[in-house]
Structure 1
Amino acid sequence: MKARSDELQVFVSVIECGSISAAAEQSGQTPSAISRTLSRLEAKLGTTLINRTTRRMELTEEGRFFLERAQQILAQMEDLEEHLALRQQSPAGRLRINAAVPFMLHVVVPHIGEFRAAYPDIQLELNTDDLNIDLLEQRTDIAIRIGVLADSSLHARALGSTPLHILASPNYLATHGTPRAVADLAGHVLVGFSQIDSLNAWPLRHGNEDRLTITPTLSASSGETIRQLAIAGQGIVCLSHFMTHADISAGRLVPILAKASNGSRQPIHAVYYRNSQLALRIQCFLDFIDEVLRRQ
């Protein structure tokens, strides 16, 4: 006879609550019922999980082994139930989303109508910030972050990655010439970031180096500002594909030095605090943006 999920739940509850009586009170059962369930579970497994006396309980070696795996199984069952609920319910309520301006303008906003049509009861609040924010302080449910994540207590879901392009407008290249090698950039106007130095490390191989760290001639704090400067013919830039693919297709920006690219990509993550009351709304939006990025 195999162990049942309710027996696993009783066993885990006893350990987490610290006693049979506390687990009984939490579950609305009697202590004798909890004790019988534990005994039945141990009989099925053919081993003692908890050494019990009137004064104390102590996990056996087998009990410690079983506890870790029982917790994993119950967590997987909870996730499965949430996903099933997502398919059966209509998520509702306010969902606060934060992203850098370029991601919000080029990935989120163009598809908001589609999302609202699918989930009309979700009330969206879209906020932008080019620097990482404190989710709790800003009362944010989901933040989209581009680049490598720092260690954090937040939950994160990978949404894919985006290549970086070295770009300039046709007008700029017609006036200043097209760089044919990385060394040629020394004679050009380079537009970079003013606040995050790591964004000024361009993915270009040169000599024995895998990246080129530039000193911007012209700088800005926002990637969208840098994009507009490039379109206006003010210099050469390094920007993500998700915010420039439409400009490249339309001929507003031209990729250059593609053969010198090291092929690196920027990871895209959604970060959030796990909260069961928001799980459905969060899951809906994460699945939606994941699909949007796959289309690009």
Structure 2
Amino acid sequence: MTKPSDLDWNDLRYALAAVRAKTLAGAARSLGVEHSTVGRRLVALEAALGAPLLTRGPEGLSLTAIGQTVAPLLEQMDQAALAVQAAVRSQTVRIKLATPSAFGRLLAPHIGAFQAARPEIVLEILSGSRPADLRRGEADVALRSGTVDGDDLIAKKIGELDWSLYASEAYLARHPASVGSRDLRGHDLLGFEVGISNAPLARWLEERSEGARVLMRYREVSDLLAACVAGMGITILPCILASLEPSLRRLTGESLGKSRLSIVYRKEASLAEPVRAVIELVTEALRGHLGTPGRR
């Protein structure tokens, strides 16, 4: 007598596809496999059951008497499998995490372990320079640099970002610059887009652009970082990001400025355990990087 343990549940899926398609080729197309695979699975299932489910003829596959009894049960099993998937999806929690551009690279090594431990939490990463509006639900949690306003928001400080001047080795081979020098005359600079050029660190660069050429302006730090790595010019970058790039050289030993890095969320959101789990993930991931010296 066949025991449940004798059955390969995957074989039942192949059998259902064959019943529906009425041909091995049709079943194979629906499953994305070779038709020989479907045939082999059917043979294995029928051997385990000890009875044939389908007969093969010139017009395709037809159900045997036992197959006619089994076919509705296969459909019920398929519906049950879909119900299991739906039940799991209903328990899935989606948390939207907003980060400044380029910070995803710092979080990525930690997200895999987090998802393995908390499969019910699906992270949606929103990256960009525009702050997400937490009050309007654009994000549940946000990583922000600088000050945070709003009595209905909680801003938990993670640490401080140091900023410094950087250039790639390729750029410095063409335009030598001494370490520690703040004289940018004659150099190509990578600046900030006009809309954010009044930020303190952006102003620092603008004030020293006399006698230099501002080659390009960027809104996103990720684009600024990529241009610097490509050897296009000198720019000011967060050391936490620039230190990950082997080709970049830090031109000022001291920090040119600091900005507060905080994890921000709505007060009521702090009551949700999945939100607390994401806050802990981001906090622990970034604390390991803060204070990392830039490459010299």
TM-score of the aligned structures, taking structure 1 as reference length: 0.59
Q: Write the mapping of 1:89-238 to structure 2, written as runs, cut at 5 A.
A: 93-103=93-103, 105-151=104-150, 153-179=152-178, 182=181, 184-194=183-193, 195-199=195-199, 201=201, 213-215=207-209, 216-238=214-236
CA 1:183 to 1:153, structure 2 compared with 1: closer, same or farther past 3 Å? Answer: same
2:142 alignment partner, SS class:
strand
How far 1:133 moved relative to its partner? 2.4
State the shift of 1:164 in Å.
Answer: 1.0
Note the C-alpha offset of 1:201: 2.7
Aligned identity (percent) is: 26
CA distance in 1, matches of 2:270, 2:180: 54
In the alignment, structure 1 residue 274 sits paired with structure 2 residue 281: no
1:102 is paired with a residue whose SS is: coil
Q: Distance in 1 between the 2:188 and 2:270 partners?
A: 50
C-alpha spacing 1:269/1:133, structure 2 compared with 1 (3 Å): same
What is the Cα deviation at residue 241 of structure 1?
2.0
Q: Per the alignment, in what secondary structure is the counterpart of residue 115 of structure 1?
A: helix
Cα deviation, 1:235-280, whole Å, max 9, x if unaligned, reads 0011112222211xx2x10000225x44x32211111112268521
Gaps of 5+ in 2: 1-90, 290-296
Instruction: Measure how far apart 1:169 and its partner are.
Output: 0.3
Q: Deviations over 1:121-179 (max 9, x none)?
A: 11211112211121233431101111233455311111112211210000101101114
Partner of 1:88: none
5+ residue gaps, structure 1: 1-90, 205-210
Secondary structure, counterpart of 1:127 in structure 2:
strand
Give distance in 2, aligned partners of 1:102 and 1:114: 20
Larger Rg: 2
Q: Residues of 2 paired with 1:135 and 1:186: CA distance? A: 42
Cα separation, 1, equivalents of 2:122 and 2:217: 36
> Is the alpha carbon distance of 1:180 and 1:241 closer, same or farther for their aligned partners in structure 2, counting shifts above 3 Å?
closer
Cα pair 2:98 2:143 within 8 Å, conserved: yes
CA distance in structure 1 between the aligned counterparts of 2:275 and 2:219, rounded to whole angstroms:
29
Q: Which amino acid aligns with 2:242?
A: T
Range with bigger deviation, 286-295 or 91-100: 91-100
Deviates more, 1:188-197 or 1:230-239: 188-197
- Cα 1:179–1:271, aligned 2, differ >3 Å: closer, same or farther? same
Structure 1 residues 29-40: aligned runs within 5 Å: none
Aligned residues between the structures: 194
